Structure 1
Amino acid sequence: MTAIEVVTAYSVALSQGDIPTAFSHFSPGAKWHQPGIHQFAGTKTGLESIGKMLSEMMAITQGSLAINPTGALMSNENLVSFPVHFTGKIGDRTVDMNGVDLFEVVDGKIVQVWLFSEDQAAEDDFWGN
């Protein structure tokens, strides 16, 4: 599988709510770099840590967190750029912005993910401390 095919397969499984299949595309020691200065910020290492963070994000947003592709996936060898639009609601706070997720794929598995937001301060306010 090419790097784009791996990230596409992950994305499709995630959008269908098939977490086991989505996570099967990650290396067990994968790193997820969540930007900002909020309760979920920082580098998460390993599937358990990444899964816990994503589960907590879905719980705090009562399932309203949605991430949708906004353009073509692009690759530079083993790096894949994935433009996204994400929305969510926590009480009276909302987030509605664009971002880019950058994946590193090695030997057919996602080994690192970096997220970028168009307004990190607004995203920090949304997630809180």
Structure 2
Amino acid sequence: MTNTTPLDVATRYFDALGRGDVPTMMGMLDAEVTWYQPGRNQFSGTHRGVDGVGRLLGAMMTVSEGTFGLTVEGPMMVNGDQVAVPVRFAGRRDDATMDMSGIDLLSIVEGKIVAVQLFSADGDAEDVFWGPSEDSR
């Protein structure tokens, strides 16, 4: 996998995500991946390692009652080992909905995603959807 470009890796990652192929998607993460979740909600902060990211994504699917989804919204942009991807993400739970644009910034080294930074178009609305952090309760 070391002979693939960052764009190849990002493309395969988002293709797997779009198909709901979680094992393939998770397999593209470095064992020590660092995931930076934005905002001031229960999921915000830094999540480390494949297990930590897996717990995060599982909890997000639980809170969103299995509806959370993400699609690529435009061309992927490459700068060295980083790939910026315009995305749209949405979900619903109870009587709350979320649907907004964002940017996922992947750092890719030797064919593995070593860091993921997420940016949301409306952080306040995302915070409301996911619910308050433990610190703000």
TM-score bucket (shorter structure): over 0.9
Name stretches of at least 5 consecutive residues in structure 1 with no aligned partner.
none
CA apart distance, 1:16: 1.4
Deviation for aligned residue 1:94? 0.8
Q: Distance in 2 between matches of 1:72 and 1:40?
A: 27
1:38 aligns with 2:47: no
Give unpaired runs (5+ residues) of structure 2: 133-137
Contact 2:100 2:120 in 1 (8 A): yes
Q: Is the 8 A contact 2:84 2:106 kept in 1?
A: yes
How big is the shift at 1:11? 1.0
Identity %: 43
* Distance in structure 2 (CA, Å) of the matches to 1:97 and 1:14: 17
The whole-number CA distance in structure 2 between the counterparts of 1:116 and 1:45 is 18
Contact 2:35 2:47 in 1 (8 A): yes
**TM-score, reference length from structure 1:** 0.97
Residue number among 102, 105, 108 corresponding to 2:105 in the alignment: 102
Offset of residue 17 of structure 1: 1.7
Moved over 4 A (4+): none
1:88 corresponds to 2:91: yes
Partner residue of 2:23 out of 14, 20, 39 = 20
- RMSD over equivalenced CA pairs, Å: 0.8
Contact 2:14–2:72, Cα closer than 8 Å, also in 1: no
Residue in 2 aligned with 1:121? 124
Q: So what's the TM-score if we normalise by structure 2?
A: 0.91
